[in-house]
Amino acid sequence: MARIMPEDTATIEARALFIQTFGCQMNVRDSEQMAELLRTQGYELVDDEREADLIILNTCSIRAKAEQKAASYLGRIGEMKRRKRSIVIGMAGCLAQQWGRRALDRLPYLDFVCGTHNIDMIPEMVQDARRHKTRRAETAFRETVASIGVAALPAKGSVTAFVTIMQGCDNYCTYCIVPYVRGREESRESGEILQEIRIMADKGVREVTLLGQNVNSYGMKLNRRLDFPGLLDRVSEIEGIERIRFISSHPKDLSDRLIDAFRVLPKLCDHIHLPVQAGSDRILKLMGRGYGTSEYIEKVAKLREARPGIAITTDFIVGFPGEADEDFQKTIDLMEKIRFDNSFSFKYSPRPGIAAEFMEQGVPEEVKRERLTAVQALQRLHSCHSNRLMVGRQVEVLVEGPSKRGEEDVMGRTGTNKIVNIAAPSIDAGSTVEVTIARAYLHSLRGEVRKKEKS
């Protein structure tokens, strides 16, 4: 890696950038955009933080655990800075938004704090830190997040990519900090989104995942002509894009038009992530979710009718304030009824400023732990069962690259988003192959190649 040059040197030498990303895909995409903005300033991404001249921590604050992880990582790089004083350290993302200027007071080694709407200001903050030793915190919410339009390409050779189609959230579920740290909901211009995807397709991307806190309400607020199903339709016209996914969907806004999209758009993958959160209508009401379990069950039935075999995944929160044993049992009953292909489950974590912060009847930690264990055990059964049902079937797999399992394997995904390892090292990333599923595990499948379809 190139040496650091004095600031007044006319030629810009490459500097090394390391970004540590926590949290959701939205943060992963933001990190790609940070890297792109800094690349134009002469920074190159490195895999090892010890080589870096600039370290950015892209944080998450959704649960206390995410916050603790960021705090302990910050402590560690603070230590590094004591040994190598020239490194610039920045904190970005949702926790940076929440802490704001206080982060600079708490952490003397921190050079800048960048909120969720201020990513475009990072190059300037880095320069100020280097040239003038100025420590800045920029966390003002803005109407449009400028960096959302930075057409960063995913890592070289990537077959899959994320595309942010909207920012923020207006739902204010009572457990959720997102509206406070990501601001109000705003959809991105469709023309810009489509252009970004066209560029990605030209560079070899075959699968795009459209990102937003609630993609179902895309375009609704400004009465844009194009709603989310309309956008999906336009994306599926883009040559080179073979698969389209999206996250996340709010069940209350899952329209019949979107369900129909699964009927008519073959490029739309056989998968939907539809966070239900709880199986008790009483708790859903306290959470401010805007739907009940019967509505949820009905929507899942319609999805399964529109696209037989569609994989349904979800999120659960256990131990929300006031969740009694009977309420929790209803979550288990719902799991049995729907049999999700997979789920993420979390213990309710109080967050500062959210509506549920002051709700009474908090559930004891021990009970939360027991409930989480029960949900996860049942999910393992259901996931194993749904994977076992695949054995003997023929499925299309989009190959993404070498497998973590070993050099002899490549790894890809089914439309249902299940990982498939295939013993065929010569298959190129980006090829779609038809495989027969030979074995099923909890988190992956083993496939055997039948014939090479398209590449």
Binding stretches for ligand 5AD (CB under 6 A): 62-63, 175-176, 275, 277, 315, 317, 346, 348-349, 351
- The residue number with the shortest CB distance to ligand 5AD is 315
Residue 375 interacts with which of ligand SF4, ligand 5AD, none, CB < 5 to 8 Å by class: none
Of 173 and 238, which CB lies nearer to ligand 5AD in the complex structure?
173
Residue 317: name its binding partner from ligand 5AD, ligand SF4, none (Cβ under 5 to 8 Å by kind): ligand 5AD
Between 170 and 233, CB nearer to ligand 5AD:
170
Q: Exposed, middle or buried, 442 (CB in 10 Å: 0-12/13-18/19+)? A: exposed
Q: How far is the CB of 214 from ligand SF4 (least distance, A)?
A: 11
325's tokens? 């044993």
For the CB of residue 66, give the shortest distance to ligand SF4 in the complex, in Å: 6
CB of 350 to ligand 5AD, least distance (A): 7
- Judged by beta carbon, residue 60 or residue 258, the one nearer ligand SF4 is 60
When the beta carbons of 187 and 416 are compared against ligand SF4, the nearer one is: 187
Q: What is the x/- site pattern for ligand SF4, positions 162-191, by CB under 6 A?
A: ---------------xx--xx---------
Give 103 or 181: the residue with its C-beta nearer to ligand SF4: 181
Say if residues 136 and 150 touch (Cβ distance below 8 Å): no
Q: Which is nearer to ligand SF4, 94 or 429 (CB)?
A: 94
Binding to ligand SF4, residues 20-79 (CB under 6 A): 23-24, 26-27, 60-62
Q: Which does 27 bind (CB under 5 to 8 A by kind): ligand 5AD, ligand SF4, none?
A: ligand SF4
Whole-number minimum distance, CB 94 to ligand SF4, in Å? Answer: 3
